[in-house]
Amino acid sequence: MAKLTVHIIRAKDFNTSDFKKVELFLKKLQSLDRHNFKFRFNDSDQIINEKDVEKRAYNFNEYEEAKLLKSDYFKNYFDNHPEKKQEIIAALKKDENYTTWENLFEVCNKYRYENKIKHEEQIVLLTNTNNWCKANKDISDWFGANSENPDNNSFVHTNLWEFYLPGIEKTYPISYMILLLLIIKKSRIGYVKYANTLTHKESIGCISDFTDSKLDVILKLRTGDICDKCLNELLKTINAAHINSYCLMLDEIRSKTLFNRRALGLYGTSKVIVQTINDAEYPFRSVYFEGFKIYLELNARELSVYLYLLNNEEGLPAGREKIEDTSTKVISEIAKFYAGQKMTDIKEAKESVRNWFTITNAGGNNIEVIKNKINKNLKKIIPDQSIRNNYEITLDIKESFYKINIDREELLIWN
Ligand SMILES: [Zn+2]
């Protein structure tokens, strides 16, 4: 069976930098998945019709507050960041925008119509707007839902995860919710029916834990598990190989949310923010190390290569033959960065970029020299090698590719 094509889109209220992170992470999950999903992303603003949007207070109560602040999961976080307590509680007590499920699914339908998306392809809308269901008054504040058959639309509520799960990137619960909706869709069980009849009211660390509060999601994130009962249910309609492949993705999320991984080299690191400096005369992008409070100083050529490698996990091919295989695509992508930086003509930029690759051993111009220069400048701002490993360009000799092994979900922000 062919993979299900899934279009991930965002409402205007879910910002583009968070969307980019979800995109990078889902692309990584997709590379582990041989059978299930083919993701497509569209970063443009989708507008939720305001007629059904209203402000409401979310029911964040004393019980939840106490549970969050006393949670053993986050005790260490709150001990180290006492100032965050009030900030988090205040954020959770704020009114939220609410709208109906019907209105959210309408955004998907409009997108489908305007972009000529086939009926059988799934659309998932990411939105900070909270929800209630017009058709069923008992339903509100769901973390996501699928429309009933025969429509193939879904939404995921993206707001507040960072406050309920402090210290954990919200990319992970959001991606988890997307995967959950998709496997239920694939099983052909209606989502409301699934939630009402098949979920575990008390959390046991299974994808089907009902999780009344976002706080409770942490258990299933960190087990990445599907219990026996739910596995048997899924096997009625989904091939075991597909479920296996699906579990590899859950495993990847799990590994990202384990607390012990903080011992694996994430201490002392800094987020890298790629931002555009807005200057009408001379707009350009730059790389800022938030934790070290310093910009990485690079010339246009070096910056183009560095940005390219940050943006492309698979890296740049080393060696002339390999480069010529992929040169057109690589050169034109880098040239885009280069042209933006120097405001040069794209054709001229392509020519310059081509030269860096083809003039080997001509001091100053080839990719190895560019790599060394970048790494040298990184060394000036990050003396500790074990931390620098996160940001440096390395040559993977076995694959013969230049790469940056940065933890893109944890450390990279595109602004
Ligand atoms: Zn279960």
Look at residues 263, 292, 311 and tell me which one is the last residue of a structural domain: 263
| Whether residues 259 and 276 fall in one domain | no
| Whether residues 369 and 220 fall in one domain | no
pLDDT of res. 198? 93
Q: How many angstroms is it from 227 CA to the middle of ligand 1?
A: 4
Hey, which of 214-228, 263-277, 303-317, 326-340 has the most confident mean pLDDT? 214-228
d(CA 157, CA 164): 13
Q: 253, 219, 335: which is closest to 29 by C-alpha? A: 253
Q: 312, 406, 286, 413: which is closest to 22 by C-alpha? A: 413
Lowest mean pLDDT among 50-54, 58-62, 157-161, 172-176: 58-62
Q: How many angstroms is it from 219 CA to the middle of ligand 1?
A: 13
State pLDDT tens for residues 237-247: 999 999 999 99
Q: How many angstroms is it from 298 CA to the middle of ligand 1?
A: 52
pLDDT of res. 398? 79
State pLDDT tens for residues 256-293: 888 876 655 556 678 898 887 665 555 567 889 988 88
What percent of the chain shows pLDDT beyond 70? 89
What CATH number should be reported for the domain holding residue 202?
Answer: 3.40.390.10
| Whether residues 167 and 55 fall in one domain | yes
Q: How many angstroms is it from 220 CA to the middle of ligand 1?
A: 10
Q: How many angstroms is it from 223 CA to the middle of ligand 1?
A: 12
Average pLDDT, the chain: 87
Number of domains, the chain: 2
Cβ atoms of 69 and 129 closer than 8 Å: no
Hey, which of 214-223, 326-335, 403-412 has the most confident mean pLDDT? 214-223
Q: How many angstroms is it from 314 CA to the middle of ligand 1?
A: 36
Mean pLDDT computed over 172-189: 96
For 193, the 3-state DSSP assignment is: helix
Look at residues 203, 233, 263 and tell me which one is the last residue of a structural domain: 263
Q: How many angstroms is it from 208 CA to the middle of ligand 1?
A: 5
How far from 158 is each of 152, 185, 300, 365, CA to CA, in Å?
A: 20, 20, 36, 45
Q: How many angstroms is it from 236 CA to the middle of ligand 1?
A: 14
Orientation of helix 16-32 relative to helix 240-257, angle to 10°: 130
State pLDDT tens for residues 184-199: 999 999 999 999 999 9
- Token duo for residue 350: 């392509």
- Token duo for residue 260: 């012990």
User: pTM of the full predicted structure?
Assistant: 0.75
Look at residues 263, 293, 322 and tell me which one is the last residue of a structural domain: 263
| Whether residues 249 and 339 fall in one domain | no
pLDDT of res. 364? 45
| Whether residues 329 and 229 fall in one domain | no
Q: How many angstroms is it from 199 CA to the middle of ligand 1?
A: 7
Lowest mean pLDDT among 122-131, 209-218, 305-314: 305-314
d(CA 220, CA 414): 29
| Whether residues 87 and 181 fall in one domain | yes
| Whether residues 213 and 322 fall in one domain | no
Helix spans in 272-384 (H): 300-311, 320-342, 346-358, 367-381
Cβ atoms of 404 and 395 closer than 8 Å: no
State pLDDT tens for residues 84-140: 999 999 999 999 999 999 999 999 999 999 999 999 999 999 999 999 999 988 899
pLDDT of res. 362? 45
| Whether residues 176 and 300 fall in one domain | no
Q: How many angstroms is it from 196 CA to the middle of ligand 1?
A: 13
d(CA 91, CA 205): 27
| Whether residues 206 and 276 fall in one domain | no
Q: How many angstroms is it from 228 CA to the middle of ligand 1?
A: 7
Q: How many angstroms is it from 174 CA to the middle of ligand 1?
A: 20
Provide the domain limits for residue 281.
272-414
pLDDT of res. 316? 84
